[in-house]
């Protein structure tokens, strides 16, 4: 269900040593986000903070408590400690389960995917780009750009003036289009800052 990299495990143990004898466990909560960018809360807690129904995961030197709803939403995940230019902290990546799904389904999702597959992606493929639908919430959709579109200076214009227009014409019930792309990361972004 939950694995920690060596680096993440070491950092947790360091924080526990600094926190005193009472804080010898973690609580993990999935509190929103999207499939590609779920929002997690990771907190140091005491062993006595375990509540009825919590799933307890032993992780080499400490225990992680996960409430049943979060455990169901999360599926299988990996926890790492990352250090980047402007940030450092724990990063939780869904590996299998609901948050790691391959994309949404349903009538609205199917119609949006058809526009992306038949009109949008063939046009931007010449630039090495791709746009995928990653989530649907009501009438709001969440899309992610990859390849040449990720980090491209023109990506916002492409999305707002091209892709959004095509989707709204074909699927008028879509009310909001969110871009969940991390334009500063990726294996081959068009422009790296």
Quote the pLDDT of residue 143.
86
What is the per-residue burial (b if ≥16 Cβ within 10 Å, else e) of 107-124?
ebbeebbebbeeebbeeb
Asked whether residue 127 carries a pLDDT value surpassing 80, the answer given is: no
Quote the pLDDT of residue 187.
47
User: Is-contact 128 154, C-beta < 8 A?
Assistant: no
Q: What is the largest CA-CA distance in the chain?
A: 60
Bridge partners (DSSP) listed for residue 79? 4, 92
Domains, in order of start, for the chain: 2-100 (2.60.300.12), 107-179 (3.30.300.130)
Asked whether residue 74 carries a pLDDT value surpassing 60, the answer given is: yes
d(CA 109, CA 174): 10
d(CA 107, CA 144): 20
Quote the pLDDT of residue 170.
93
Q: What is the DSSP string of 28-39?
A: EEEEEE-SSSEE
Arithmetic mean of pLDDT, 101-105: 68
Asked whether residue 84 carries a pLDDT value surpassing 80, the answer given is: no
Bridge partners (DSSP) listed for residue 143? 133, 179
161 or 148, greater pLDDT: 161
95 or 4, greater pLDDT: 4
**Range ranked top by mean pLDDT from 61-65, 181-185, 187-191:** 61-65
At 192, the pLDDT band (50, 70, 90 cuts) reads: very low
Quote the pLDDT of residue 32.
66
C-alpha closest to that of 116 among 129, 127, 97, 106: 129
Report the alpha-carbon angle 101-77-26, nearest 5.
Answer: 140
At 129, the pLDDT band (50, 70, 90 cuts) reads: confident
- Tens digits of residue pLDDT in 23-72: 889 999 887 665 555 678 889 999 999 999 999 999 888 999 998 888 87
d(CA 100, CA 94): 5
> 147: buried, middle or exposed (CB in 10 Å: 19+, 13-18, 0-12)?
buried
């Amino acid at each position: 269900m939950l694995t920690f990299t060596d680096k993440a495990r070491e950092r947790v143990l360091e924080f526990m040593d600094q926190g005193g004898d009472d804080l010898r466990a973690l609580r993990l909560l999935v509190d929103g986000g999207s499939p590609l960018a779920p929002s997690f809360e990771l907190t140091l807690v005491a062993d006595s903070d375990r509540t009825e129904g919590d799933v307890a995961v032993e992780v080499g030197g400490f225990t992680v408590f996960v409430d049943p709803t979060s455990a169901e939403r999360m599926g299988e995940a990996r926890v790492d400690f990352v250090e980047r230019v402007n940030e450092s902290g724990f990063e939780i990546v869904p590996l299998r389960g609901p948050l790691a799904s391959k994309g949404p389904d349903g009538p609205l999702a199917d119609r949006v995917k058809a526009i992306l597959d038949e009109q949008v992606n063939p046009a931007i493929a010449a630039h090495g780009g791709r746009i995928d639908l990653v989530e649907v919430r009501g009438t709001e959709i969440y899309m992610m750009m990859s390849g040449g579109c990720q980090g491209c200076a023109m990506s916002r214009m492409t999305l707002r003036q091209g892709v959004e227009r095509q989707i709204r014409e074909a699927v008028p019930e879509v009310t909001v289009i969110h871009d969940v792309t991390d334009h500063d990361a990726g294996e081959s972004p068009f422009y790296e800052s």
